[in-house]
Structures are given as structure tokens and as C-alpha cells.
Amino acid sequence: MGFQSVDTYHHLIESMRVAYADALQYIADPAKVDVPVSQLLSKGYAAERRSLIRCEQILPHPSPGQVYAHANTAYLTVIDEKGNACSFINSLYESFGTGLVVPGTGVVLHNRGSLFSLDPEHPNCLAPNKRPYHTIIPAMVTRNDQVWLSFGVMGGFQQPQGHLQVLANMVDFGLDPQQALDALRFSVVLDDGVAVEEELPASTMEELRRRGHTIIPVGNGNRGLFGGGQIIERDPESGVLRAGTEPRKDGSAIGW
């Protein structure tokens, strides 16, 4: 489809909209409800959901697929010389989480519980000793059972979107870690449209609008909307490491 082309933007945006329809319906604490993980991750279900996407027009109102079940954030990653890797995210959700501090520690408690549903029939409904739906996704990618990437993209509901775009940049378009992070991104804003970075060519924005997307250009004042990522890439054969760090937020890539 071409790097940063209209078709690439359109298909990645639509895939996120369809994926969120499922995520917000089915993802909950698996210790408390039966989350249909195997069905959601199956090739057949992916093909079924992918078939909804049209090349020239948006899906007006993505709804959850039919799954048949059986009876403020910080990211860091480290890879050592032996290929041992750690991908780690810590998050409070809101700026100061719950606003509660554990006495004598300075540790602020998170408020991820605000992502529970209050609908008693929803699998993610509020309940004791239950974890809420959340977007914390410290990630790793392997090749031939060897670590290839250890990475993460922070930013609330932008996390899965950032993961999709950064990974597509490296897997589909051959970009290196820094190029993958530097590339322009989009952010599906649920029920409002799609935020894009203002440097996206006007012709690309116009064509996306023609296909039915509500496009929201975003400039320097709110770049954080597009997330903040860090990546370490490891060559499984040589062990050579390459790293990239987010240009839109604080971060650093260090080797020693």
C-alpha cells in the first residue's frame, strides 16, 4: 500500500476502530469472567472482522463481533548482552492516579478502576477483587523464538494504536527503531473521528475525508495525544542492539 499512504492510513485506522469495538465489549479480568481469548485471536475471526473493512469507505458504526465462548505512564525496556529482555510499563492513569499516597512511601495509587463498566451485564462490570479493562501493553516480538523487539508505546487508548503503527512501520515497511517512532501517527478518538499530525499531506487528509473519516489535524500543542514509545531491536544472529526513543515526549536510548 505504501508507507504513510492514504490506503495505509485508511486500513490501519479502520482496523483500530473494528478492534476497539471488540476490546471494549469483551476484555475484562479473566480471573472473574470468561474472556474469549482463543476466539478473539483466531485466524478465522480475524478474517471475519477484516472482511468488514472497505477500501473506499469507512465502516459507519463498528460493532462487536459475535464471539462464541466456551462452557500517566512510564515505559522502559532493557536487553542485555545475552538477549535477556525486560519490557515494563508503570501507569497511574490520571495525572495523580487516585490522589491517594501510601503513608510514608511517596507511592501514589493508580485509578485504573475508572475504566470499569457500571453496566451489571457487561463482562467488565465493577466487582470486588477484579481487574479492570486497561491499555497497559509492554510488548516483545520474537523471530525464530529469539527476541527481536522489546518495545512499548504509552498513552492511554493510544497504546494499542501506537503499537500497531510502530510495529507496522518496522515489519511492513522496514523502518529502523528511530524511524518507526519518528513517523507520523494517527489516533482514533472514539465517537469523534481520527486525529492526525498536521504534517500529514493535505491531499492525504482530503482523501481520508472523502472516504468518510472525520479528520482532526493536531499540531505541536498536543503531540502527546499520539503516544510516547521506546524500542530496542536485537539482531538474533549477531546480538547487535539498535534503539529508538520517542521524539514527542521525554526519553532516551542508552547503550553501554
Active site positions, annotated: 73
Give CA–CA dist 105/121, Å, rounded: 38
Instruction: Of 90, 138, 93, give the one whose Cα is nearest residue 115.
Output: 93
Can you state the percent helix, strand and coil of the chain, rounding each to 5?
30, 20, 50
Which residue reads 504513510 in cell numbers? 4
For the CA atoms of 152, 229, 43, 4, the dihedral, rounded to the nearest 10 degrees, stands at: -170
Give CA–CA dist 188/218, Å, rounded: 12
Q: What strands, in cross-sheet order, belong to the sheet with 193-197? A: 186-189, 193-197, 215-218
State which H helix or E strand residue 86 sits in: strand 85-90
Residue pair 250/230 in contact (Cβ under 8 Å)? The answer is: no
- 93 phi-psi bin (left φ>0, alpha ψ -120 to 50, beta other): left
- Radius of gyration of the chain, Cα coordinates, nearest whole angstrom: 19
CA 63 distance to own-chain centroid? 19
Residue pair 151/166 in contact (Cβ under 8 Å)? The answer is: yes
